Every structure is written in C-alpha cells, then in structure tokens.
Structure 1
Amino acid sequence: MKSTLPIASALLIMSSGLPGWAGEPDSQVSYNTVQVGDASVFYRAAGPKSAPTILLLHGFPSSSHMFRELIPELAETYRVIAPDYPGFGQSSSPSADAYDYDFATLATTIAGFTEALEVPSYTLFMQDFGGPVGFRLAQANPEKVEGIIIQNATIHAEGWNPDIVGQFAPFWENRTAETETPIRGFFAPETTRWQYTQGASLAHRINPDAWVNDQSGLDRPGNHEIQLEYLWSYQDNVAQYPAWQAYLAEHQPDTLIVWGRNDPFFLTEGVEALQALVPAADVHLFDAGHFALETHAAEIGDAVRRFMAR
C-alpha cells in the first residue's frame, strides 16, 4: 500500500508555496506589550519592519484604538506603531508613587518605548495629547524625525477655542475642588460622545464603539485622578509652545497637516500659525471634528501615503 502523509503535514507543505500562507503577513495588525520603566505599554503594530516607521500618538481620552482604521490604510507600505500611554487603553496605570502623570514623563516613556522596539527614526503622527508628546520627542532628538504629521494638535495659544481656555484657566491658576469641577466634566459619558460627534458632518460614519471604548477606560477605578494630573500638567505644554515653534522654524521638517476644521477645541487659526512657521507644509482640511479619523480615515490615509511617498 502506498504511504500517505498525515493531513496536517500535507497542508503545511501545500501552504508553504502559497502567497500569504507562510507566516503572518506584514500588514496584519499585532497586539503587544513592552515594559518601559514602571509602565507596561500596550501597542498595535503592523507593516514591514524594514520599512519607514510612522509613530502614531493618540489624544485624550482615546488610545491606539483611534488608529484602528488608519493602520490598515498604511501598513501595506510602512511600519506603523501605535502605543497606549500609561493610564490609557490597555497600558498599565502605575501608582502615582511609581509614575509621574505629566507630559515630560510621558514623552520620556514613549522615547524609551521606541528604544525598546529598536526604532531608530520615525515620522510622527500627532493628535491632541500626541502633540505635546511628539514635539518633546522631536525637540530632544531632531535627527530621529523623518517627518511630522499633525492632526488637530495645536502649539499656538491662538489655536485654542477661548471657551475651552475659560474652563481650564481657573484650574491652572489655582487648583481646588471648585476649579476641578469643570475639568471633571470632561470625564462624563455625554462629554466623551460630544467630543466625537461635535462638528462631524459625516456623523453616520462614526462607530459608537469609539466613545464607548474611551469611556470604559475613563471609568476605571482611579483613572479620573490620573487624567486630572495629565490635564493639570497640560499648562506646561502651553509654556513650551515658543520652544516647539522655534523647532519648526529652525528645522523645517517635512510636514503634513490633516485637520478637522470643525474641531470644538482647536481652531483653524492654529493651522494658519503652523503654516507661517513651515510654509512648505502640505495642508488638508476636512469637514470633520476633533476626531477626524472617525469620519475621514480613508481620506487622511490617502494624504499620508502621498506625503510619505514624496
């Protein structure tokens, strides 16, 4: 009788000759964690490891989850890495004794994260909180920055909505239980949803899972106190605006601006101020809100691909 291979072995031999069967494809998103100091940092990654890297830095109150649709748009050609900050998403929330929840510490953590993943250089994609993190990275090591992509993250005072400034100014000037009250309002479910829907002309494209996911993170025990510390330290970012403006003016990095023009937090005056610093910046304004990726991921992905290919 003729011998036959076990079915599993036969399938293995067959699969080795079929495209896409031999191992996990580079464009497949992987979900990982790496220890950086006292923080366990969760991240999403996809794309060829030998390709240029895009480091995706998320905003408040989201996580790498906000890039779930953009990552597949880019991963065929580029290495895409999106970490969750400590206190956000699936990353750990060290005690306040072990971790300082401020932006200088956060930037140090993300710098350590890139070193742990052996990422020597990258294009920064920065949204909201990602701006203060990314510009600290760029200012500290400009030689590592191959390009900058800014999505609704201002580094100019005139880029802020005055109504939002009016809520934060008393808190920053004198932190008390009374001045904390308006800030705690940013942790409410209706506010989280509002951040996604306000100004979104294509609201039917917004997946409700986005704000539900964010709210579940905010509602974890102790997380309000963590977020208060981050928001308290945001005043240090404003103090750094002149230094970050000087960085752009001096280094003139390749810059792409993709911006939801109806953002209730950051106004298009911030875009104009960025253009004045980097006249060659490629600018795309979308009829979207603060989280423009929720409604325009394909359009923003196209703009990023064209920018990266230049």
Structure 2
Amino acid sequence: MVEVRHQYATVRGHRVFYREAGAREAPALVLLHGFPSSSRMFRHLIPALADRFHVIAPDHLGFGSSDAPPVDAFTYTFDSLTDVTAALLARLGLTRYALYVQDYGAPVGWRLALRDPGAVTAVVTQSGNAYEDGFVPDFWRPVWAYWEDPGPRTEPAVRAALSLDAIRWQYLHGVDRPELVDPDTWAADHREVNRRGNDLVQLALFRDYAANPPLYPRVHAYFRERRVPLLAVWGAGDEIFGPDGARAFTRDLPDAEVHLVPGGGHFLLESHLDTVAGYIRGFLTVAEPPA
C-alpha cells in the first residue's frame, strides 16, 4: 500500500494543505487541480505514480483543506495563487519538477513556467487550456459576459456554476459510463465552494480568469523556445475545454503527445484513471528535460 502523506505548510501567512507521496529523492511531479475541486481529484492518481515519482498535490487557497481567507484579506487572482504555490514549492525544496495541470491548475502552472522556465522538466495537461481553441462557447459565454460587465445583470449566470446541479454536470458530461464517477466528488466540491464567504472567492476568480487568455502568446513563445516535453490527455467529451484545445499544443510543440480519450469528460481521472496513469508513466519515463 502506497503511503500518501496529508500535510500542511504555512506559506505567506496562510495554511496550505498538500498531499505528498513517493521518495523525496525521486523525480518530482506537481499536480495542480482545477475548479471546483481540490487535490482530492488526484486521490487515486497519486498512489498510481508514487512508486516512480515524488508527487506533490496542493490545494489552492479557497479550495479543499487549504485556508480560504475572505476576499478582503487576500486578493484572489491567478497571480496570487501562483505566488502561494511557488512559495510552497520553494519551501519544499523543489527546484526541478514536472507539472500536471487541469482547469484552474493550468494558468497557475503556466505562470510558474514563465517565472522559472528552467524548473519545469515536462508538462502533462488534462483539460488544462492554453489556446483560444479550447474554449467551448456554449459553456463560456456567460463567463465572457461577466468579464465584460461584472454586476447584477451577469452575476446570476456565473453564480449558477456553484450549484450542485452545475458541479454534478461538470463531472458527468461527456462520460460514457457515469456509474464510475463517485457522487461524493460533486457533493464535497459543492459543500466546499459554498462555505460562508466562498462564493465571493469564486466570483473573484471567475472575473480574474479574463487575465489568462492575454497570457497565452507568452506561453506559446515559452513552448517554442524551451521545447518542453508535453503530454495532452483530455476527455474527448469535455464540453468546457474541448478537444481542439488539446490538438492546439502541436502548433507550438510539434512533438507534443496528444490523446483524446473516448467516453471521458472534464474530470477524466474519475472514469479513466488507468488510461491516464498509463500515458503519464510512459511519457514521463521517456521525456527528456529541456536543455
């Protein structure tokens, strides 16, 4: 049985929760979760990789078991989430690591890579977007409206993303065998993002997501310049970040490995864990760190 250590560190005055497994001298792999989940989304993946890798999976502030300071005590932006993540990795002594990014984890991961390109040895992206191609308009249209005019006219549509039905949909849409998805996932996520005051946290991050697409050209330049090994493994049925977002990585990284998993959705690990773990193990075993 693989030991997964559930730990806390105080970073920039905030208590950050992270899961850790594997030998500390093994190659490091940092797992960055998306909305509305936490490192809990990696609860089954971590043991599947910890025999070869030193795995670290933190909860972003405002999610899971990390602190969730109110919006008047912490500025919830993707820059600030990156600040906390970078400080945690420095505290843990991680100077070289592969990244796994999903959903919100992607803009944090891209910022880490841009700040310290030499630290990132490889990237695994699972519905971790970096191209306009990835946005599915039917899902994103209310969010785009909120970016343009945040207020009482546009807020109700994005607040709906915090409802139990919307979170359940994120887990089940595009999944050919929904009976494989544990209902505890959406129940726990719904409970955590609806803690007192956390709605304002989530609204702040919805607004700040507008800062991510303008960063994409810098990310693309980073890909071209660093030639970082990249694996994109996405659910073919994801209707949040669609398959075109996975294919787009090959524009700047022609050698990128892209897999669209039939019958998988946005939270691919819930229904296709063995498939994803197999791709990751094979990819990271042969991936050469960028010079």
| TM-score where L is the length of structure 1 | 0.90
Q: Which residue matches 1:75?
A: 50
1:33 alignment partner, SS class: strand
The answer to whether the 8 Å contact 2:70/2:198 transfers is no
Identify which of 224, 229, 232 aligns with 1:254: 229
Query: SS in structure 1 opposite 2:248?
Result: helix
Rounded to whole Å, the distance in 2 between the matches of 1:280 and 1:63 is 30
1:8 is aligned to none
Whether contact under 8 Å (1:218, 1:224) holds in the other structure is: yes
State how far apart, in whole Å, the 1-side matches of 2:237 and 2:61 are: 29
Secondary structure of residue in 2 paired with 1:125: strand
- Relative to structure 1, is the Cα distance of residues 38 and 89 closer, same or farther in structure 2, using a 3 angstrom cutoff? same
1:302 equivalent in alignment to 2:272: no
Deviation at 1:164, TM superposition (A): 2.1
1:22-33 equivalences in 2 (<5 Å): 27-33=2-8
Contact 1:38/1:99 (8 A) holds in 2: no
Structure 2 residue 64 is matched with structure 1 residue 89: yes
For residues 182-197 of structure 1, the aligned pairs below 5 Å read 182-197=157-172
Cα distance in 1 between the residues matched to 2:285 and 2:118: 20
Q: 1:38·1:94 contact (CA, 8 Å) conserved in 2?
A: no
The letter for the 1-side match of 2:214 is A
Q: Which residue of 2 aligns with 1:163?
A: 138
The alignment's C-alpha RMSD in Å is 1.0
Measured in 1, the distance between the counterparts of 2:147 and 2:161 equals 15
Instruction: Provide Cα deviations, 1:43-89, integer angstroms capped at 9, x if missing partner.
Output: 00000000001100000000000000100110111111100000000
- Structure 1 residue aligned with 2:289: none
Mapping 1:141-156, distance limit 5 Å? 141-156=116-131
* Corresponding letter in the other structure for 1:138: A
Work out which of the two has the higher radius of gyration on C-alpha atoms and give 1 or 2.
Answer: 1
User: Partners in 1 of 2:232 and 2:224 — Cα distance?
Assistant: 16
Which consecutive segments of 4 or more residues in structure 1 shift more than 6 A? none
CA deviation map 1:182-204 (0-9, x unaligned): 00000000000000000011212
CA distance in 2, matches of 1:75, 1:95: 34
User: Given residue 172 of structure 1, which amino acid in structure 2 is its aligned partner?
Assistant: W
The yes-or-no answer on 1:43 pairing with 2:52 is: no
Partner residue in 1 for 2:150: 175
Matches within 5 A, 1:186-265: 186-265=161-240
Equivalent pair of 1:38/1:98 in contact (CA under 8 Å): no
Distance 1:202 1:141 in 2: 40
Query: 2:28·2:54 contact (CA, 8 Å) conserved in 1?
Result: yes
Structure 2 distance, partners of 1:166, 1:286, is 25
User: What TM-score do you get using the length of structure 2 for normalisation?
Assistant: 0.96
C-alpha deviations, 1:197-233, integer Å up to 9, x for none?
0001121211111111111101210111100001100
d(CA) in 2 for partners of 1:145, 1:158: 24
Whether 2:39 is the aligned partner of 1:64: answer: yes
In 1, are the aligned partners of 2:26 and 2:52 still within 8 Å (CA)?
yes
The one-letter code sitting in structure 2 at the alignment partner of 1:249 is R
Q: How many residues align?
A: 285
Counterpart CA distance in 1 for 2:42 and 2:135 is: 24
> What do residues 227-247 of structure 1 show as CA deviations (whole Å, max 9, x unaligned)?
000110000011111111111
Segments of 5+ residues of structure 2 without an aligned counterpart are 287-291
Letter in 1 for 2:52: T
| Gap runs ≥5 in structure 1 | 1-24
Give 1:11's aligned residue.
Answer: none
Residue by residue over 1:25-59, the C-alpha shift from the partner in whole angstroms, topping out at 9 and shown as x without a partner, is: 8x300100001113211000000000001100000
